[in-house]
């Protein structure tokens, strides 16, 4: 009896180890398919990328990154139904990842579903407030709404944090504000003296990404006119560009309280208020 019991335990151990090895190898295989699919995707070999992402998902149906990237492939192919399917699947399996919300937001934007795109933007910003992808999406939404100035501001914020597409859009879709400001400075050749002058100077420096000096100009404007909602609005933009979202929201609230209505858009788009 002891011999039979020992043999039985041995076979149980063999089965357990075999099952563990299969599961372990499956997880490794899913990752291998995922890495291979990424390589095909970067090379724009979309059929091969799709096949390998699907292989990874067959092994691991909850592989959220594979679902997200597969959605990106279908997005690149102009197939919104399949793209939406896999973005939704990715979000379902990884609701705390900001990235698929950004991707789905762009898809909604392409489909002219601005409200849904805004909702995904808000979710992504809650998960990662300083993500350049969120700033880029917000800029794209504003551009779609024909709010070019606001779009360029957000694209510049994203570009300042290394977002390549945002940098390209700044160059291709936005006016060369820095050059225009430089020409104006040369023509004018005078120092600011009034609150409006300092606000204008601060806005020009903000567009040049000279955020610290822009803040100084806006603060000087407030010293001259304590009720300048536009100056507080500029402070909010500069703080946001420096990654200080909470301080930006405080400044925008003050600006709106003083009657500067543009702050309402910023509070809604960034501060979710």
Q: What is the pLDDT of residues 186-206, one digit of tens each?
A: 555 556 678 888 888 888 888
SS percent in the chain: helix, strand, coil, step 5: 80, 0, 20
Q: What is the pLDDT of residue 8?
A: 43
Residues of the chain with pLDDT under 70: 1-25, 27, 175-192
Which residue do the tokens 């011999």 mark? 3
Gyration radius of the chain's alpha carbons: 26
- Classified as helix, coil or strand, 209 is coil
Residue 159 CA to residue 45 CA, distance in Å, equals: 28
Contact at 8 Å (CB) between 127 and 98?
yes
Residue 144: partners with Cβ closer than 8 Å, 6 or more residues away: 109, 114
CA nearest neighbour of 241 among 207, 267, 271: 207
Lookup: tokens for 262: 């543009």
Dist CA 16 CA 232 (whole Å): 66
- Residue in the structure block whose two tokens are 């999406």: 137
Query: What is the structure's pLDDT at 19?
Result: 43
Question: Which two tokens mark 111?
Answer: 């489909």
Which pLDDT belongs to residue 187?
Answer: 55
pLDDT value of residue 78: 93
CA distance 113 to 102: 14
Ordered domains of the chain (ranges, CATH): 23-173 (1.25.40.10), 177-269 (1.25.40.10)
What is the pTM assigned to this prediction? 0.59
Helix (H, G, I), strand (E, B) or coil at 87: helix
Please, what's the largest Cα pairwise distance for the chain?
Answer: 103
């Amino acid at each position: 009896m002891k011999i039979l019991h020992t043999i039985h335990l041995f076979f149980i151990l063999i089965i357990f180890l075999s099952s563990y090895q299969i599961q372990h190898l499956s997880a490794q295989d899913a990752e291998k398919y995922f890495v291979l699919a990424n390589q095909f995707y970067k090379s724009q070999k979309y059929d091969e990328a799709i096949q390998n992402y699907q292989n990874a998902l067959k092994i691991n149906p909850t592989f959220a990154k594979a679902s997200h990237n597969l959605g990106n492939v279908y997005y690149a192919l102009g197939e919104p139904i399949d793209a939406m399917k896999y973005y939704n699947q990715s979000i379902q399996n990884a609701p705390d990842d900001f990235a698929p919300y950004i991707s789905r937001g762009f898809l909604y934007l392409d489909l002219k579903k601005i409200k849904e795109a805004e909702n995904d933007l808000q979710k992504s910003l809650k998960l990662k407030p300083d993500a350049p992808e969120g700033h880029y999406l917000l800029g794209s939404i504003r551009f779609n709404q024909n709010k070019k100035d606001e779009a360029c501001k957000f694209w510049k914020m994203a570009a300042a944090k290394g977002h390549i597409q945002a940098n390209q859009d700044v160059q291709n879709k936005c006016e060369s504000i820095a050059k225009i400001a430089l020409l104006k400075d040369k023509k004018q050749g005078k120092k600011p003296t009034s609150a409006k002058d300092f606000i204008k100077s601060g806005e020009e420096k903000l567009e040049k990404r000279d955020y610290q000096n822009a803040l100084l100009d806006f603060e000087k404007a407030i010293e001259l006119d304590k009720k300048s909602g536009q100056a507080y609005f500029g402070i909010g933009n500069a703080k946001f560009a420096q990654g200080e979202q909470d301080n930006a929201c405080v400044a925008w609230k003050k600006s709106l309280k003083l009657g500067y209505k543009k702050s309402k858009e910023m509070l809604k788009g960034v501060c979710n208020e």
